[in-house]
Amino acid sequence: MRKAALLVFIAAFMPVVVAASSHIVRHSSIPETYWGTWAPADATCKDADRSGLVLSERTYASSTTNCAVEAVYETPSPKGVVYAARLQCSNSTGQELQKTTANLIIRPAEGNQIDIGPDFPSLKPYQRCSAGGSSANP
């Protein structure tokens, strides 16, 4: 009786799990659309060296951290495609080099902005400063 109930439960919910996971696409790099220098929306691009970040095909860099992209997962959402990057990061604290694993969510926003953060509650707006080396916002 328990086995039959378990089989019915699995059969009922398996299609939901498969359907949800079939919409996620794995990539090996950050999409080219997001490459460039980004500054917090409340800052200017002149301050990007201190508070901004740089996204490229296989790296994420800020003033305190350098990360290599391990994988990027693309998921559709009502606000557009959301990307979740898995990163291998190094940051130097004094003399020692520490390696950590991190997550980075990239979600499109209005205009020339994106929301970036380690998880959805921590997303912050960033504005594009450059793409391919050209400055979009002085």
Instruction: Give me the pLDDT at residue 6, please.
Output: 45
pLDDT exceeds 80 at position 21: no
Contact 41, 127 (CB under 8 A): yes
Which helix (H) or strand (E) segment is 62 a member of?
Answer: strand 59-62
Name the 3-class secondary structure at 24: coil
The rounded percent of the chain whose pLDDT value lies above 90 is 49
Bigger pLDDT: 34 vs 134? 34
Bigger pLDDT: 75 vs 1? 75
Summarize pLDDT for 77-136 with one digit per residue, the tens: 888 899 999 999 987 655 566 788 999 999 999 888 999 999 999 999 999 997 544 344
Instruction: Give me the pLDDT at residue 1, please.
Output: 59
Instruction: Give me the pLDDT at residue 134, please.
Output: 39
Instruction: Give me the pLDDT at residue 79, please.
Output: 80
The encoded tokens of residue 106 equal 């990239």
Q: Which residues of 16-43 are buried (b: 16+ CB within 10 A; e: fewer)?
A: eeeeeeeeeeeeeebeeebbbbbbbeee
Cα–Cα separations (whole angstroms), residue 56 to 2, 67, 128: 52, 10, 13
Closest by alpha carbon to 106, among 89, 90, 123, 121?
Answer: 123
Report the predicted TM-score, pTM, of the whole model to 2 decimal places: 0.73
What value does the mean pLDDT of the chain take? Answer: 80
pLDDT exceeds 60 at position 5: no
